[in-house]
Amino acid sequence: MARKLAFISLVSVFVALLGFAALLVEARPQVATTHAAKREAMATYPELTNAQRLRRGLPLSKPRQLFSPTRVRARDASPSYIPTAQTGYIKVVRTSDNAVLGYMSSSYLNASPSPYTWYGLSQSRLLVTFTPPGSGVFDISISTPGYDYPFLGLTGSSMPSPTNPDPYQQNVGRITQTNQTPPGAPPSDVLNGRWPYSLTSESAVWNYDSGTKEITAVWVTEGASATYPVHFFSWTGVAAHVDGFAFTTNTLTYNGLLDLYLVPADKSQAVRFYFESA
């Protein structure tokens, strides 16, 4: 009886092993099929983001580019602006056709003791030095020796708004040598009696475009209530006390302004200034 039970147990174990083996055989194709289904699902809608795939019950896509420590590097630092001193001359260009007319004169157009002492157009060249900041106005130093005042500046009085249409409220200013005034400050009487009547001046008025090398200027109004860009003109062949560089803050009624100053239109040329290295 014991032998019969042992035999039956062995048979039962054998049958169980056969059944387990059959299950393994049947499971293998299912695994392969599952892997194939996953690959097919991952290839479906390749344009979808992983977030979109999750919402649709699809498997996540593999990263297109795996992390590699050899590709990691520090971000390039932006170069900081370093102010650089510029020494050279101021070239005068006619606005209408970009023709070079000459240079800012190395001496006053009307020499002392004449009270009308301002700069004009000449082939002699005024040597200047400036260090433009990253932004904002700055001073231009006069490097040509023999000057009473160290800076190139603007002098004028009651310069009007650029939108003022009244020609009788217009005025012109001049380019002169001056003592220093702070950036953004209103015009100050720092010419020390050089003029026979009261004219104020400003030194920190200049701007510089390092790309084009153009030098421009602004005028701060009395009381520092506003800052206006200025427009430069060259008056030539009019009269000794009129010739030279003039500027205005309003070009709307410029022809009327010429009439007030008795300047024929053909004696006035709009000009721009450019830096030329020494």
pLDDT in tens, 91-113: 999 999 999 999 999 877 665 54
Among candidate residues 173, 190, 171, the one with its CA nearest the CA of residue 182: 190
Supply the pLDDT for residue 222. 79
CB contact at 8 A, 255 and 67: no
Residue 120 belongs to what domain range?
86-277
Instruction: Among 30-34, 39-43, 81-85, name the one with the lowest average pLDDT.
Output: 30-34
Mean pLDDT of 171-175: 84
Q: What is the pTM of this model?
A: 0.68
CA distance 121 to 172: 17
Chain segment 33-72, per-residue pLDDT in tens: 555 555 555 556 666 787 777 777 777 777 766 656 565 5
The dihedral over CA atoms of 188, 193, 194, 198, expressed in degrees to the nearest 10, equals 60
* Residue 53 domain flag: no
Give the CATH number for residue 215.
2.80.10
* 60, part of any domain: no
Please identify which residue in the block is written with the tokens 């009244």.
Answer: 166
Give the chain's domain count. Answer: 1
Please report the pLDDT score of residue 93 as a whole number. Answer: 97
Q: Of the ranges 206-215, 223-232, 250-259, which is most confident?
A: 206-215
pLDDT tens-digit map of 174-210: 898 889 999 998 888 876 545 555 578 899 999 999 9
Confirm whether 182 is domain-assigned.
yes
pLDDT score, position 76:
61
Give residue 57's pLDDT.
72
Assess if residue 27 is contained within a domain: no
In a domain, 268, yes or no: yes
Q: What is the C-alpha to C-alpha distance for residues 211 and 202, in angstroms, rounded to an integer? A: 26
Q: What is the pLDDT of residue 1?
A: 52
pLDDT at residue 53 in the model:
73
In a domain, 54, yes or no: no
Alpha-carbon gap, residue 264 to 181, rounded angstroms: 34
Q: How many CA atoms lie within 13 Å of 221's alpha carbon, on the beta-carbon side?
A: 13
Amino acid 31: pLDDT: 45
> Is residue 126 within 8 Å of 104, Cβ to Cβ?
yes
Q: What is the mean pLDDT of the chain?
A: 77
Question: What pLDDT, on the 0 to 100 scale, is given for residue 17?
Answer: 52
- HSE-CB at 145 with a 13 A cutoff on CA atoms is 0
Residue 198, both tokens: 């009261």
**Gap between the Cα atoms of 141 and 145, Å rounded:** 11
How long, in residues, is the chain?
Answer: 278
Which is more confidently placed, 230 or 147? 230
Tokens of 7: 């035999």
Whether 58 is in a domain gets the answer no
Q: Name the H helices within the chain.
A: 2-43, 50-55, 254-260
| Nearest residue to 89 via CA among 72, 102, 101, 76 | 102
- Asked whether residue 8 is assigned to any structural domain, the reply reads no
Instruction: Check residue 158 and give its pLDDT.
Output: 74
Q: How far apart are the first and last CA of the chain?
A: 124
